[in-house]
Structure 1
């Protein structure tokens, strides 16, 4: 590691938007610690692609809702690279169902990952990110849409927004920025799973640009937010949704 090299942790970095963020930050010269929960094969493939392109990355398994596992994740980053400058919390799950029908075990499951997981990761980030660093939580446009069937997921992402805005105020005196990136309907496996073509087309048409987002577009915004050009952007929820809301 050179003195100028910066270090990023990306949770949920094996698939979807998280995977694109890993590759984008690595292309910008970051050493990246890619966190995954169960997608070991995809995580190793992503690391291999980063290394083949001349970047530096390692994959570390951890359940983001387990505070001891997350502490070990941060320990690994510090031990491997000497410190942490950026944390991108991209880990998340989605459940859908009308409130009259939703199994409360599913509600607990989405809250455990999306709310508790965000809090646990942000807590470690708040303790360990170096001065001048950045914390970014991946939120969602769904809290603004009031879509039937999305109550559990949208509520969990509204909590992510609240945590983001409060943490930004708590860490400002240390010159650490905290923001949320809120994608709209984006062509990831998480979004496409269980949807028929008619549903996908209808959700794409919700944007006046008449398409789904690309995961790389969210990654580009993350890359900007961690750059020196974005140091005065703090405590914001930034939407990447093609004006779908």
Structure 2
């Protein structure tokens, strides 16, 4: 087995291949190794592909269910509601501070369980480089309980710049503004809220007032109507203002005064 690993590394990875994903890499390696069967065996002088076809006749059927390979460890939730996996921190919203969790570590993902077996979190392992959605609703619930932690939260930097300012510009209103933003996210996106804060005076508005502004913005841009009554010659017609200049002030165009 180890010799085959070395053979594969020396023949397929002497120049690092371009990897888009693990499935893509596996398909590429399968294709390359199938090509490699076309050469004669170093000792038997027969094509490796012919030897493989003969070996297949003696293979046994694979199990109907996958063999689950994993390790199990335990960890404690820190005071910020986080655990650390593979050097990266993850927030576990359903767990309490200092609570011990059991983690099932598989090659591509990990799963967190309470002591009673309840699953509270599942995520891809960091080296899988998968995009994770930020659970803003859960985060805002935590911020509402601890408004002074907003500025120091590791999620704060992922907010649009104007939303960051809106939440922290008045420290005494941070709790109510966090609660209001959470309510706005039921109908709008963070980018929508960011765009609604394009004017400085709007940073003084309460969250429900921003809601009125967002609804007005959406109502003021109706979808373009499809109609057949406008003559084709007038579609996309651009007015030539020089014609009006000549009519209103002929002297500017060399005409009679």
With structure 1 as the length reference, what TM-score do the two structures score? 0.22
By relative contact order (CA 8 Å, sep 6+), the higher-ranking structure is 1
Q: Which has the larger radius of gyration?
A: 2
